[in-house]
Structure 1
Amino acid sequence: MTGASVLFDAPGPRARRVSLIASIIAGVVILAGIAWVIMTLAAPRESGGITLPGMFDPSRWNIFTDPEVWGAIGRGVVATLQAAAVAAVGAILLGIAFSLLRSSLIAWVRVPTAWLLEFLRGMPVLLMMLFILLVASTGAFWAVVIALVLYNGALIGEALRAGLASLPRGQREAALSVGMREFQSKMLVEFPQAFRQMLPIIVAQLVVLLKDTSLGFIVGYNEIIRTNINNLGSFYGNRYLFSLFVVTLVIYLAINLTLSWFARWLSRRTASGYGGGKGRGKVTDPTNPAALLEAEAVADRIAASRGLGKYDGHGQ
């Protein structure tokens, strides 16, 4: 029995033939659906007794010959990247602080931090933005940035905690044996290794952070979507909404796919695994949302095995 068929029997000729036929049928259905969508968008339509051209008609795309349009789009891209960059730096710094507090041996530090992390992770990001904007009157930019820092800092903190928990205990013991204190061991020996191990997941979380900047549309921040769909769409009219939507989609895809590719490349370079070295050489897809959950589960299991419960106050 090969490694590829440990959990199931290898398909026979009939099963392979059925699978091939099903794949061909599914491919034809998908292509037909795509063709139907394209023809529907390209077809002229009636609106108020007026025949409007299809979505791919040149008259719906002629605004992109105007440099002012691209200047406005560029300002929206810069605003998005600016908010994402500031929030990314803040989230990483906050995540580092959370990971250190969350992995503390002192119960009155560790337990409140655990509850705070659960609160921040359970709070919708948009609700955070609205609360910060209405209560603190910070302005749209800082409402977006602070909310993203709090939410993503909590997630990055859990990822770094998982990295710290997955390190072999011998790392700390070796540091203590040469005269380092607990805090020195954690900062100089354990944390650099944990950060490198969890770096692909952190980068993937920053991709999510970048996409969440689109929520700034609701609080009045002029990121890409608000600039393109709301501002330019209102100025030039509904005729250009589809073309502006397509341009916005392409920009987001270009940025996010580039960052996702970088996260996967980084994962292959670091070959990060969990479980105190058991997974060395195992490459986890950092863009998979289950990757962070898996890391947290491993961290909780290791912490429990060392007498450090998830929320309890038992020391090591």
Structure 2
Amino acid sequence: MSSTAEASALYDLPGPRARGRHRLYGFGALLGIAGLLAWLGYELVSTGQFSAAKWIPFQYVGIQELLWHGLLNTLRAFGLTVLLALPFGALFAAGRLSDHRVVRWASTLVVEFFRAMPLLVMIFFIFVAMRVQPLWALVAGLTLYNGSVLAEVFRAGVLAVPRGQREAAYALGLRKTQVMAYVLVPQANRAMLPSIVSQLVVALKDTSLGFLITYEEFLHAGKLIATNLDYDLPFIPVVMVIAPVYIGMCLLLSWLAGAIERHGRRSPRQ
């Protein structure tokens, strides 16, 4: 069966009039986007956002070092969060899947509490009440929140594996830990990967909350530049510099996840 026949079995192929309407809708949407971009550019130019006074600070070595230092601090906080949140999520996911009622209830309580607690409240509590250094207050809050969300992702991924796989493994005489390690988790990895990456992207963006507790991360560095009167308060230029960096890091995470997924499909062990 050809691809055209397969497509027509799922839905009616558009006729000449429908194709014409689709082209018209696409052209209209393209015009709308172009108009929006033109209006945005006009507003930026008319308000002097591209004036030399607002962009000249980025030429200074001191400003570049400030941004670089902030970016490294952001990556440091994110790396520590990943190293702690993934084991945290795996541990409490295993606890929620435990056959022991006390362990299951205790793990559920921890996960639901930290998942429901506002992240900013946790960060401020750890920083102010417990007098923890800004970096570790930020990392602790991110770990507790994102680790709890990841625990639910891991648990849902394991439970999504067909029940017959688990029953067949038990029939072969495997213990529960062996069933989890050799049967359920490898099959659940593919289903969990998109959700894990999405949560890691959230964790990366949430590192920007560190500026509220004086942690000198990337957004904090941008705030220092944007509020400088000597440079005519370059808020929009700072956003135009910082936003693409955040977007690029998130896209890099997504690309890395895609590469891992493609490698898993080619692996003979899968």
State if a TM-score over 0.5 links the two structures.
Answer: yes
**Aligned pairs for 1:124-273 within 5 A:** 124-169=118-163, 172=166, 180-187=174-181, 190-195=184-189, 198-229=192-223, 231-235=224-228, 236-270=230-264
User: Under a length normalisation based on structure 1, what TM-score does the superposition of the two structures give?
Assistant: 0.73
AA aligned to 1:186 is M
- Residue 98 of structure 1 is matched in structure 2 by 92
Once the two structures are superposed, residues 174-207 of structure 1 have per-residue CA deviations (whole angstroms, 9 ceiling, x without a partner) of 6656665333443455445544653443233212
- Contact 1:95–1:157 (CA<8 Å) still a contact in 2? yes
Per the normalisation by structure 2, the TM-score is: 0.84
Specify the alignment match of 2:23 in structure 1: 20
Amino acid at match of 1:29: G
Deviation at 1:148, TM superposition (A): 0.8
Determine the C-alpha separation between the residues in 1 that align with 2:245 and 2:176: 47
Percent identity over the alignment? 36
Tell me which amino acid in the other structure corresponds to 1:154: S
Single out whichever of 8-17 and 194-203 deviates more from structure 2. 194-203
Residue ranges of structure 2 left out of the alignment (5+ in a row): none
Q: Letter of the aligned partner of 1:79 in structure 2? A: N
Q: Higher helix proportion, which one?
A: 2
- The CA deviation at 1:169 is 4.9
Is contact 2:86-2:150 (8 Å) kept?
A: yes
Q: Which has the higher contact order (CA 8 A, sep 6+)?
A: 2
- Kindly provide the amino acid, as one letter, of the partner of residue 156 in structure 2: A
Instruction: Compute the RMSD of aligned alpha carbons.
Output: 2.8
What CA distance in whole angstroms lies between the structure 2 residues aligned with 1:5 and 1:208?
40
Q: Write the distance in 2 (CA, Å) between the matches of 1:28 and 1:168.
A: 48
1:37 to 36, 40, 47: 40
Distance 1:86 1:64 in 2: 29
What is the rounded CA distance, in whole Å, between the counterparts of 2:120 and 2:233 in structure 1?
Answer: 30
Deviation at 1:173, TM superposition (A): 5.3
8 Å CA contact retained: 2:93, 2:155: yes
Question: CA deviation digits over 1:38-67, x for unaligned, max 9?
Answer: 112112x5xxxxxxxx21123321112211
Alignment of 1:65-84 (within 5 A): 65-84=59-78
Unaligned runs of 5+ in 1: 46-53, 272-280, 282-316
Which residue number in structure 2 is paired with residue 287 of structure 1? Answer: none
